[in-house]
Structure 1
Amino acid sequence: MKEYAIIVAGGKGTRMNNVTSKQFIEVAGLPILMHTINAFVTYSSEVQIILVLPPDEVEIWKSLCSKFSYQVPVTIATGGDSRFQSVKNGLAKINDTEGLVAIHDGVRPLVGKDIIGASYHLAAVHKSAVAAVRLKESIRITNQDTTKAVDRSDYRLIQTPQTFDLAMIKAAYDIKEEASLTDDASVAERAGFKISLFEGSYANIKITTPEDLIIAEALMKE
């Protein structure tokens, strides 16, 4: 079954205190986004990669590819005003009606080929496979007046890749966009599809703050 990957790279560097969009910040000698794409290439050179970028950053990407002599083939899709719209634009670049598609954050460069492979394998069986990890710390639910401890074993932190049967996720993205639909699993669930989780990795961090950059570089060196 043909495998696709939609890499969503629409973030800005606001929490980084950096004018450079976070996916273009260099870590361990390459922009973060190139490390992320390389992770999928390491898994398989046969994966067809769709890279979703803000319209005003397509030329920046092309200039970085020239600067770093980066020649991994990708299909460019332009992002929308929200993640929902960006993923939908990425899906529109896939003409096939059958296959598997992994949707992944452009700023999760440390995803391992084992996690990627597991996501495709499990999605082929269950129609969906969403990476998740168990909570390490205690959590509490709170309102304006009180707080209450809850059982952390009932909860998971959701990561990407989130991998789906292609026809299923395309159908899911035909629903109306709502602010509560913060990831692909929530879109598929709202559309009436069942979501299957699998064990992700604590190393598969999403780089959003300066501290994350330090951690990512240390993990890459390791």
Structure 2
Amino acid sequence: MKKIAIIPSAGSGNRFGSSLNKTFHLLQGIPVILHVLRTFQLCPEIDEIIPVFKEDDLERGNRIIDEFRITKVKHIAKGGKERQDSILNALNLIEDINAILVIHDGARPLITDRLIRETISQLVDCDGVIPAVKMIDTIKEVEDGYIVRTLDRNRLRAIQTPQVFLAQTLISAYNHTLNKGLNFTDDASVIENYGGRVKNIVGDYNNIKITSKEDLMYADFLMKQK
């Protein structure tokens, strides 16, 4: 069964105080997105890669793909207004509805081959697989600046990517979401809303998402420990 990685990378650099997309900031001398693309390029489980770039970044993204020979890229999707729109644009490029889709944030450069393989292998008797880690901090619900209640962190997980689904299931779920005018921030939520069952596997605390300059510094530190 064909396995296609979709790599949404159409965000902004606002939290960096920069006009440059956060995935194009350098991490150990190369763009964050290149760390991601290389890992999926070298993973034997992955047959094809579909990056998603906003229109202003298409030229820059193409240049990286060509220069570093990311040969598994056959198509590039254009980013939409919201993340959900970006994924829909990528789904419209899927030709094999029986494929397995592996969706991974372009801003998570410490993704490992092991975690990719594990999420794919667990797509059995379920409609999706997502990695997650246990919450370390105590989590409280806040309203108007006051604590409403303390949540049981033993039942909570911080969700990561890659998230894995059958193409046919995810496309149907997204069409359902589109028809209802709903908006979600991750793909597992789309499946959940569609009535699907999503399996949770153990994630990786090092699989951080780059959203600030501090995250970039921490990612650099983690890479130096390898």
Answer yes or no: same fold by TM over 0.5. yes
Tell me the TM-score normalised to structure 1 length. Answer: 0.93
Asked whether the 8 Å contact 1:132–1:199 carries over to 2, the reply is yes
Summarize deviations over 1:8-55 as a string: whole Å, max 9, x none. 001111101122211111111210001011121232274210011111
Q: What is the match of residue 159 of structure 1?
A: 160
SS in 1 for 2:136: coil
Q: What is the match of residue 186 of structure 2?
A: 183
Q: What is the match of residue 70 of structure 2?
A: 72
Asked whether the 8 Å contact 2:36–2:109 carries over to 1, the reply is yes
Aligned pairs, how many?
Answer: 220
SS in 2 for 1:173: helix
Alpha-carbon RMSD across the aligned residues, in angstroms, is 1.6
CA distance, structure 2, for counterparts of residue 191 and residue 124 of structure 1: 18
Q: Write out aligned runs for 1:47-86 (5 A).
A: 47-65=47-65, 69-73=67-71, 74=73, 75-86=75-86
SS in 2 for 1:51: strand
Structure 1 position 197 matched with structure 2 position 200: yes
Q: What is the match of residue 218 of structure 1?
A: 221
CA distance, structure 1, for counterparts of residue 189 and residue 46 of structure 2: 28
Structure 2: gaps spanning 5 or more residues? none
Tell me the TM-score normalised to structure 2 length. Answer: 0.91
Q: What is the match of residue 42 of structure 1?
A: 42
Q: What is the match of residue 120 of structure 2?
A: 120
Summarize deviations over 1:147-180 as a string: whole Å, max 9, x none. 3222100111111111101111111110234565
Asked whether the 8 Å contact 2:3–2:45 carries over to 1, the reply is no
Asked whether the 8 Å contact 1:124–1:165 carries over to 2, the reply is no
Q: Percent identity?
A: 34
CA shift, 1:65, in A, is 4.3
Asked whether the 8 Å contact 1:97–1:166 carries over to 2, the reply is yes
Structure 1: gaps spanning 5 or more residues? none
- Bigger shift: 147-156 or 86-95? 147-156
SS in 2 for 1:207: coil
Asked whether the 8 Å contact 1:23–1:107 carries over to 2, the reply is yes
